[in-house]
Amino acid sequence: MAPITFLTLNVKGLNSPQKRRMALIDLCRQRGEIVFLQETHFRADAAPSLTSRYYPQSYFSNYVTSKTRGVAILVARHVPFVCTHQRTDPQGRYLFIKGLIGSRKITLANIYLPNTGQCGALRSTLSKLSSFQEGLLVCGGDFNVPLDTNPESVKPTPTPEPSLRRRFMQLLHQHQLIDGWRVLNPSVKDFTFYSHAAKTYSRLDTFMMSHHHLHALRSASIAPITWSDHAPVLCAIEVLTTPPPQCTWRLNESLLRDVVIRQDIKDNVEHYFAENSTSDVSLPMIWEAHKCVIRGKLIQIGAQRKKTHRESVTTLLARIHDLETEHKTSRSISVFKELTIHRAKLNTILSDQAFKSLRHTKQLFYTQGNRCGKLLARALKRKQQTTFIPKVQSDTGTDLHLNTDITEAFHKYFSTLYQLRD
């Protein structure tokens, strides 16, 4: 599908109906398809509506105490986004939603950091985001930290805490988040906020993306400051639809311990060979085809047992709930005995599940403990996250962030160093 345009903007309050209407019209005019808004100034118990025909989906995180802070995410009607989970902040500082665009998992994170203590707030927010996110991560908002060094700002320069930007960038590096606008505009000098009091410009708004997903970033730009005191930042991101993962079937060996199932499989095998052993079909073909037939039969039996198991657990839980409710009021001994019996049945089912899980874990360590497989990959995952290369500097002094550009720079350097020929 075509790239989706993401837009982030600090709106500085949308409690006025006229300003809300103006904002929606302007966002539609700029063709923002997924919009991140900060400082909506909606109170949680009296939040107005912020939807239109173009933005029928809207998600909010509002401050519960007063009309300050607040963030929102708007989704255009033609974007096939389906929200599966949502996390809000009672302080109105962040909003996380995740879901599907087509068959692609995506997580949207809208963050509005305070004017002081930005690094501590970002550390806490990113810690919560890391346990929430799935798939492609798009993190945008107003970070209230100058994202460029002082020489890149307009004089007179802002005077933030000297180590603020350094510690802020270290936090982003730990979570492998890259400033998407700066990646595509390495030498451009542009800004998103103008301070009338200090008479200074700074770039506080941007979109952050995971280093492994930067290849999906197509364009990034900063629009002019108009009705708000911040400028909109737009990014076009390619959200490709992916086919569903292919699952590999594996025999559930517990089925073979059931005498009835073993006899059923045996009867099916005998019936299959009796019907298909003909002279016009070769024996290797018959043998290979019988594997598919038996696999289909085992899948059918496994699905039936899974359905029966799920229904039995649901029935037991419902019965236990009814008996608990009755026992709380009647304190009857007979009711308590029946409750104990049902709890024991449920405990048996859950214990079987735990035993099966432990058996699979032991089997995994036995078969994969000394191999280059999943266990080794999981052990190296955390080390790999701390040793990845976020950027390199080319011979012209330009910072390269994309994996393809980094690979090409290494290839060019070592080819020149060792005088290699293609």
Which residue numbers are catalytic?
112, 142, 230
Q: Is 401 annotated as a binding residue?
A: no
Does 230 belong to an annotated binding site? Answer: yes
CA distances from 146 to 5, 118, 167, 206, 283 (A): 24, 11, 12, 11, 74
Q: How far apart are CA 75 and CA 77, in angstroms?
A: 7
Residue 142 assigned ligand-binding role: yes
CB neighbours (10 Å) of residue 418? 7
CA distance 421 to 106: 42
> How far is it, in rounded angstroms, from Cα 231 to Cα 215?
25
Q: 56 to each of 11, 52, 88, 333, how far by Cα in Å?
A: 19, 6, 19, 56
144 is in an annotated binding site: yes
In Å, what is the CA distance from 72 to each residue of 34, 109, 350, 396? 10, 10, 41, 41
Q: Which residues are annotated as a binding site for Mg(2+)?
A: 10, 39, 142, 144, 229-230
Q: Which residues are annotated as a binding site?
A: 10, 39, 142, 144, 229-230
